[in-house]
Structure 1
């Protein structure tokens, strides 16, 4: 892995776009109770079958992370908690970059490192989904 640090600038990029999305998402989660306001909000798969989908718990994760309740967020969906925290970090990086001209480091992965990333992501998703299923359907197994 190589890290490239560009000169100070205010040129918006992918990190800034993701940071803005993260900031807006966490602000909505913090101040607007989406799940209570929208009557059809929820997991259709879980409502019909009783089994959670891959994204079950993400609304609760955003709500808990925005209120700084990280343990509750982790219990709802661990991988979603990691993603929400990364989005929060990207929001901070966006502000530092666009306001104070702090350069955003660029990571360059080798083909071998990209192979490891592509192999690890499905495993992480599967382990996370297994946790969500056990937490939802068999909570007594986690005690």
Structure 2
């Protein structure tokens, strides 16, 4: 892995876009009760079959992370919690980058590191989904 630091700038880049998306999502999670305002909000798969989808719990994660309830967010969806926290980090980096010209590091992965990432991500996704299924359908197994 190689990390490069560009000269100080205010160029809007990928991290800034992710930070803006994260900031918007967390502000909505904090101040707008989406699940209560939108009558059809919910998981169609879970409502019709009883089984959760891969994204089940993400609304609760956004709400709980925005309210600093990290334990509750982790219980709803662990990988979603990590994603929400990374979005929050990107929002902080975006503010520092745009306000103070802080250089945003550019990371370059080797082909071997990309291969490990491509192998690890689906495994983590499977483990996360297994946790969500067990938490939803068989909660007695987690006590």
TM-score range (shorter-chain normalised) is over 0.9
Partner of 1:129: 129
CA–CA separation in structure 2 for the residues paired with 1:12 and 1:45: 38
Deviation at 1:42, TM superposition (A): 0.2
Deviation at 1:89, TM superposition (A): 0.1
Partner of 2:53: 53
Q: Number of paired residues?
A: 143
Deviation at 1:18, TM superposition (A): 0.4
Partner of 1:75: 75
Deviation at 1:72, TM superposition (A): 0.2
1:54 match: secondary structure: coil
Runs of 4+ in structure 1 over 6 Å off: none
Gaps of 5+ in 1: none
CA–CA separation in structure 2 for the residues paired with 1:45 and 1:81: 21
Partner of 1:91: 91
1:15 match: secondary structure: helix
Partner of 1:12: 12
TM-score, normalization by structure 1 = 1.00
User: What's the CA shift string for 1:50-89, capped at 9, x where partnerless?
Assistant: 0000000000000000000000000000000000000000
1:141 match: secondary structure: helix
Gaps of 5+ in 2: none
Deviation at 1:134, TM superposition (A): 0.1
CA–CA separation in structure 2 for the residues paired with 1:125 and 1:48: 23
CA–CA separation in structure 1 for the residues paired with 2:72 and 2:18: 24
- RMSD across aligned C-alpha pairs, in angstroms? 0.2
